[in-house]
Amino acid sequence: MSADAAHIFVVDDDHRLAELLCRYLTNAGYVAMAAHNAAEARAKLKSLMFDLVVLDIMMPGENGLVLAEELSGQTDGPPVLLITALDAPEERVNGLSTGAEDYIAKPFDPRELLLRIERILRRRVVVDEAAPIAMPTAPERLSLGPFVLDVTTGLLLRGEERILLTPQEQRLLRYLATRLGDEVSRDDLAEALGEGTTLRAVDVQVARLRKKFEADPRNPSWLQTVRGIGYRLAGRPLP
């Protein structure tokens, strides 16, 4: 096993499945560890770093969606791949709206899971190594109602409170700030977010951002939908 092998964290209340997945991932060259509920997972996440979390939704006690949203809200949190026995469209939307990178329904072929893990890790490397966005015409600070966005750093504040944004959320907001008030296509946003980003992933990122600074995410004032095109960021440049 390579010394720089990615560390995968499997969280599933099915002990047998978790053990099988860890064994399969280890044979594939990863370092794998398991937990069987959200509380156990949090305890391990406090002291250990993981490159990706494979997380079951349907667990006794706190379900996986809560933990997925918490991890996705952390600036340096690991990407999450959700697994579940529920595969209705609304369940997929609910899962992805937490900020999870992908979603796979049980029963699944372990080879498919492996491919999805590889894709997520590859995309994360591309995003992490992406060149900084050039913003020659963007304001340094932007007012979004009671929130202030530092366009240079991607920091979002409400008074003294820092709003946690993932690297992808920061990149999306900063790119929209360079086109303040303009219609920006979903294709342009997908390209700005990095290779492999789908249009659906753009929509999910927008939905997550709205929950963090819009008073009414269903009727947004600042991160607006431009029907048939994409999105527009409204706001007031600050001195």
What CA–CA distance (Å, rounded) separates 122 from 116? 10
Do 66 and 159 reside in the same domain of the chain?
Answer: no
Residue 135 lies in a domain: no
The structure tokens listed for 49 are 């770093």
**What is the model's pLDDT at position 125?**
54
Do 68 and 165 reside in the same domain of the chain?
Answer: no
Single-letter amino acid code for the residue at 119: R
Which of 128, 155, 172 is the last residue in one of the domains? 128
Do 14 and 108 reside in the same domain of the chain?
Answer: yes
Coil vs helix vs strand at 2 = coil
Instruction: Quickly list DSSP for 38-79.
Output: HHHHHHHHHH---SEEEEES--SSS-HHHHHHHHHTSTTPPP
Which of 87, 106, 128 is the last residue in one of the domains? 128
Residue 22 lies in a domain: yes
Coil vs helix vs strand at 129 = coil
Length of the chain: 239
What are the tens digits of pLDDT across the range 10-47? Answer: 999 999 999 999 999 999 999 999 999 999 999 998 88
**What is the model's pLDDT at position 76?**
65
Structural domain tally of the chain?
A: 2
Per-position pLDDT tens, the chain of length 239: 444 578 999 999 999 999 999 999 999 999 999 999 999 999 998 888 888 999 999 888 888 888 988 887 776 678 899 998 876 777 777 777 788 888 898 889 999 999 999 888 876 654 444 444 444 456 788 999 999 998 888 889 998 888 888 788 888 998 999 889 999 999 999 888 876 788 888 888 898 899 999 999 889 999 999 998 999 999 888 87
Do 188 and 112 reside in the same domain of the chain?
Answer: no
Residue 151 lies in a domain: yes
Residue 1 lies in a domain: no
**What is the model's pLDDT at position 2?**
43
**What is the model's pLDDT at position 129?**
47
Say which CATH number the domain at 107 has. Answer: 3.40.50.2300
Residue 134 lies in a domain: no
**What is the model's pLDDT at position 61?**
84
What are the tens digits of pLDDT across the range 177-201? Answer: 988 999 999 999 988 887 678 888 8
Beta carbons of 6 and 33 less than 8 angstroms apart = no
Do 179 and 234 reside in the same domain of the chain?
Answer: yes
**What is the model's pLDDT at position 200?**
82
Residue 168 lies in a domain: yes
Report the chain's C-alpha Rg in angstroms. 19
Say which CATH number the domain at 155 has. Answer: 1.10.10.10
Do 63 and 111 reside in the same domain of the chain?
Answer: yes
Residue 216 lies in a domain: yes
Do 19 and 117 reside in the same domain of the chain?
Answer: yes
The structure tokens listed for 206 are 């927008």
Beta carbons of 14 and 84 less than 8 angstroms apart = no
Do 69 and 163 reside in the same domain of the chain?
Answer: no
Cis peptide upstream of residue 217 (ω within 30 degrees of 0): no
Do 97 and 200 reside in the same domain of the chain?
Answer: no
**What is the model's pLDDT at position 75?**
60
CA nearest to 191, candidates 230, 145, 237: 230
Q: Structural domain of residue 71, as residue ranges?
A: 7-128
Do 102 and 15 reside in the same domain of the chain?
Answer: yes
Which of 128, 152, 171 is the last residue in one of the domains? 128
Residue 136 lies in a domain: no
Do 176 and 71 reside in the same domain of the chain?
Answer: no
Do 118 and 207 reside in the same domain of the chain?
Answer: no
The structure tokens listed for 74 are 């952390």
